[in-house]
Amino acid sequence: MFLEDTELVEYEAVNKGFRNDVYVKLADGLFNVLFYDSVRLQQDFESEVENYGFYSIDPNLILVSAVNKEEIVFVIENLYRQQYFEKLKPASN
């Protein structure tokens, strides 16, 4: 589920290359998943290394080819089948 599910938010996510308002609700909790495209990840990496000397990746960060709703839903369905969420700590129970 998306906290904000509007065309404007999707447009901004596609153009900014990231989306952090995606939550997956399962029996064992609610999981916040971050979606990035490779361009945005590279920009964040370079900025963090320049400012802090390192870059730490969130364990719930998913790299996708495009940060749009269709791609995100497809990826979540596949990650669920691969039992990916069993490895994450839920945002809440």
11-64 pLDDT per residue, tens:
999 999 999 999 999 998 999 999 999 999 999 999 999 999 999 999 899 999
- Whole-structure pTM over 0.95, yes or no? no
The full set of domain ranges for the chain reads 7-87
Entry field: residues in the chain: 93
SS3 44: helix
Tell me the pLDDT tens digit for each residue of 17-26: 999 999 999 9
**Rounded to whole angstroms, what are the CA distances from 10 to 6, 33, 40, 43, 68?**
6, 16, 15, 20, 6
State the pLDDT at residue 91. 86
Q: CB-side exposure of 59: number of CA atoms within 13 Å?
A: 9
pLDDT beyond 80 at 83:
yes
Residue 37, number of CB atoms within 10 A of its CB: 20
